[in-house]
Structure 1
Amino acid sequence: QGKAYVEDGRQWTASDIGLTHRTCAWMSNGFMSVNTDAGAGRAFLRSLYRQYADWGVDFVKLDCIFGTDYSPKEIMAVSETLKELERPVILSISPGTEVTPALAENITQHVDMYRITGDDWDSWKDVRPHFDVARSFADANKITGLRGRSWPDLDMLPFGRLTDAGVNQGPHRSTNLTFDEQLTQMVLWSMAKSPLMYGGDLRHLNDDTFDLITHPTLLKINHHTKNNMEFGYIHSERTSERNEHSGRSDLTNNGGTVLGLATCNDKNTGGWHSSSKDHICRGFGIQNDNASFCMSKAKLLPTSDGVTMSGVEDQAKFHLVGIDTNDGCLDASVSPMFSTCEQHSKQVPEEHTLVT
């Protein structure tokens, strides 16, 4: 109401609730934490976020509170304040430097988005580390989806027209990422179920970039898939600045069975066969005889290190580990979409699915 906050018979000001010993790592002269142990500090946060809600704000990015600036008390206080509002406000926290799944464990139920990397700019050396980070959070079961309460945030997509880091003017240049690099980044972000935040200038959006960030299949992957994890059959690691080592992992402990996906239009694809256990056919009511995807059971090729993958590609384009269970199945249809089976009129497991 425009009045000073009074508690315990005294008036409190900003200098009383600012924690001068907890300043932002990247802007120590501009930001500091709020003392949430004091009633005045909590009152300040309530006043601030109620003002945001009155303005119609839907999304709040709270920086200098996570990662190297981790402040769990302040995160909890802001989260509780937002829950008291009459309208939903998305809470995103950062920075993501030095964030681990263990650190995220304590806050995932209190925020909507949390950064898990440093700033991502338009160079491949910035994009590359995100593969390891995404894998770590997937292995820890920290990649959740829509209404999963919180999303690990890989940072914005640096596509289209951009400016430079630390420059307050622009945008004045196009992204330095090649189109293939942009596509790879978009696929990783979608598979990792990261929030898809466009970092370029929407006023200068070309058709290729628009088609990429609105790609319907990638958006479906980002929204609807579950348990997305790195598959270790094919692996790659950097052993020096110039050398990269690739190979295949030994899957003999899995019984020697691999399920493969391949495009039916590829004349080099071979090794097809069927068995009484695995059923493949198109979904009910589909009239098109030219299905765009096929499934096969392929034999494991001998494992070796540092070899080309051409032999694997001829057998099947993608490889999945076979499992001995009847709990799941893949629907076979002309649509390149796969999900857990549900009983309905257009999906009969005995006739229209592949059971592994």
Structure 2
Amino acid sequence: MTLLRLENVRKRYDQTPALHDIGLHLEAGEFLVLIGGSGSGKTTLLRAAAGLERVTAGRITLRQDIVDDPQATLFVPPAQRRLGMVFQDYALWPHLSCLDNVATALPARTPNRLNRAQKMLERMQIGALAQRRPARLSGGQQQRVGIARALVARPDLLLLDEPFSSLDPHIRDQLRNDIRALARETGTASLLVSHDPADVWRLADRVAVLEAGRIIQLATPETLFTRPATPHVARFSGAQGGFPAVPAQVGSTTGVRLGDVFLPAPLDHACAPECIAYFRPQDVLSQPACSTGPGLPAILDHCVFEAGAWLAYWRVAGLLSLICSRETQKPGAEARLTISGDKIFLYPRDKE
């Protein structure tokens, strides 16, 4: 069942456009991550879904009911949309205990109201902190209270606005696991705004990438990684690049000239005479400098040891930027670099 649908949604602030003809749907139980740089429109989109922003044009439907349609002069305020929301800055009441903060999400006459709030705190592993006020909690503990408050009323839609951005890395990992587990247990659909690639790989069923107020790719994490639609998506998924490349053909073999060397590659993504190439460090293979066959003669600039592997940075004739490769052992001073053609992403130069 489609829980949330945005159709041709636009948003302007005075004369400044923030969202351009956004079309998006979220299925019941699905986890959708919105990513993009600062000013891309991802938070505006989330706030529009929550009812914290009114759209300029288009339509938003929640559970088959229209909740925002300027043309029909329809708007349902946030309090009536029956959803949960987790904020970046926790947004807890400072004068209330953790237990009371969570209980505020339930109507005053709810049976066993405090008991339900206590059980949700225990589910978030902070039941022992129920009587503490937010000022006596760490950032991670405060965010757990915020998540408990968002989920205690059992909403079918959960909106999360960069909830992990101010937390330590190990706390982020714990909360990702907790949120994903709770979403699966309860069947709650989740819409998460993030700029962190780890949220995509660990949480998302699908990913919507925004750039300048437009969705430039909507795909599964696997498709995002294997077929990034733009240089921005390629960089987000860990690729290095912006290397000038010229489509070419040697005999029956298609490929690109990178620097002074021809590399075999499919040209499906090359739709202009001049392209830019992207590829990931793990797809760059360094061979001994004396090896034969196609490859980029390279001189080692420097290397660093990171997370169990060496990252080697190479200078290649004709390229202004260094090429990075991931090595199992510290490499020598010279090498010949090869890149599998299906691991090279090519884009028109004007897309950079």
Q: Same fold (TM over 0.5)?
A: no
Q: Which structure: greater strand fraction? A: 2
Q: TM-score normalized by structure 1?
A: 0.32
Q: TM-score normalized by structure 2?
A: 0.32
